[in-house]
Structure 1
Amino acid sequence: MKLWFKKISVALITLMTLGMYIPPTYLDADAKEGNKDIFSSNEDVQDKDFVFSDIGEDNLSDDEDFSSLDSSEDYIQLFTDQAREQTFTKLGPRIADKVEDDFMMEVFPGMEEVISSILEDIDEEEFPFIEINEQKSSVNGEKIFNIYDKQSKEDVARFHVRRDLRPKEGYWFNFHYHLRDDNYEEHHDLGEIYWDKNTPPKWMS
């Protein structure tokens, strides 16, 4: 009798409590949030991969489009910088301090243009074989610098400066260059700068 009563009691209690327990809503919310985080993180990864792939493709195309232009501009800039430095070294501080502004306005733009023109006529593959010869200039001679071709072992161009004494005027500095194309015979003028009636100092002094 007692055993039968216990079985009935257990069955009644089970029926009475069935459906009364409801899991806390925050557990379901947390689960949904977790799923959202998973999906959003996956979407972020996909978006980032897409962005990175686009950036990589853009950079590659830019490099292909502008690599040759940047290379030629770099060489021209390098050569013109060296040309300016070599010219001031040739003139020396005593002369350069007085004529620097005139040189930069009257002569250097033409020198830049000539150097650019020379390099533009040379194939890009040959650029590494072209250099400015930085051997020391003569104290009394005209040489400033030469643009030298290491493959042919010839000067492509020779840049000079000459002191001219003109009656009743004084001394002028004549800047010019010679080209391999005409066997260095022609004087191609770059410009002139007036010094003074007094004799200028020696070069590089």
Structure 2
Amino acid sequence: MMKLWIRKAFVVIITFMTLGIYIPPTYLNAALEKDGLVSEKPSDNRHTMEDQVVVVEEAYSDVEELDETDSIINTLTEQARMQAISKLGPRIVNQVEEDLLTMILPNIEEVIATIMENADEEERNYFAVSENPTPGYGEKIFHLYDVRTEKDIARFHVRRENRPGEGYWFNFHYHLEEDGFEEHRAIGEVFWDKNTPPKWMA
């Protein structure tokens, strides 16, 4: 009976050691180094290691800059998404949700990302999304603007179009400051129905 118990204990101990649950104490490595049993690494590797550290630091700063830009873009696109859904209102969103999620919102996000990438690095930090979509029949969804100057950079709108024989469509578009907000740049269109859609934000 005792031999069986010892054998089971031995199996458990071996299992722990094999699976890496048991970690030998670090003083064993220190004793090996002190006794000279561990070979020293060649000193010429030191320069290579320093060069690698510099390369890693440069790569890290590039990644950090990208992460900051991505973070700003993600924040703005999330705010834009919320404003677009708010603008349409629950009655419209319930009917056009699939087209909105698969076509319109990704296109809006792509436009914002392009505007951000083309902007100066310092300017990006001051971009914001306006928070008051126009209710009723107005076109404004939101504006992308510079908080320092309060000037619009881009204006995102949606317009209702009643096409004879087809019905009502929602035309999503945007305007840019560079041409005085004159040109309509398409984001996409979503079909509503032959019946008149409710007012925005209804």
TM-score of the two chains, using structure 1 as the length reference: 0.70
* Residue in 2 that maps onto 1:167: 164
SS of alignment partner, residue 125 of structure 2: helix
Q: Deviations over 1:38-75 (max 9, x none)?
A: 937xx9xxxxxxxxx99x98874553231111111111
Number of residues paired by the alignment? 165
1:76-95 map, 5 Å: 76-95=73-92
Find the aligned partners of 1:155 and 1:95 in 2 and give their Cα distance: 27
What whole-Å deviation, never above 9, does each CA across 1:83-113 have from its counterpart, x for those lacking one? 1111000000111011111112222232122
Runs of 4+ in 1 over 4 A off after TM superposition: 56-62
Q: 2:191 aligns with which of 191, 194, 197?
A: 194
> Hey, what's the Cα distance between the residues in 1 that align with 2:180 and 2:79?
24
1:113 alignment partner, SS class: helix
Do the aligned partners of residues 181 and 39 (structure 1) sit closer, same or farther apart at CA in structure 2, a change above 3 Å counting?
A: same
Q: Percent identity?
A: 46
Match of 1:113 in 2: 110
Moved more, 147-156 or 90-99: 147-156
Q: Residue deviations 1:110-147, cap 9 Å, x none?
A: 21221111101112222221101112423220000000
In 2, the alpha carbon distance for the partners of 1:192 and 1:136 equals 19
**Map 1:114-193 → 2, pairs under 5 A:** 114-193=111-190
3-state SS of 1:191 partner: strand
What are structure 2's unaligned runs of at least 5 residues? 1-27, 39-48
1:192–1:136 distance in 2 versus 1, CA, 3 Å: closer
* TM-aligned CA distance change 1:74 to 1:39, over 3 Å: same
Unaligned runs of 5+ in 1: 1-32, 44-52
2:143 counterpart letter in structure 1: N
Over aligned residues, Cα RMSD in angstroms? 2.9
Distance 1:109 1:38 in 2: 59
1:65 correspondence with 2:28: no
Determine helix, strand or coil for the equivalent of 1:199: coil
Bigger proportion of residues as helix: 1
**Aligned equivalent of 1:39:** 34
Amino acid of the residue matched to residue 71 of structure 1?
E
Assess if the C-alpha contact under 8 Å between 2:134 and 2:141 holds in 1. yes
Structure with bigger gyration radius: 1
Which secondary structure state, in structure 1, belongs to the residue aligned with residue 124 of structure 2? helix
Code of the residue aligned with 1:79 in structure 2: it is: L
Kept in 1, the 8 Å contact 2:157–2:172? The answer is yes
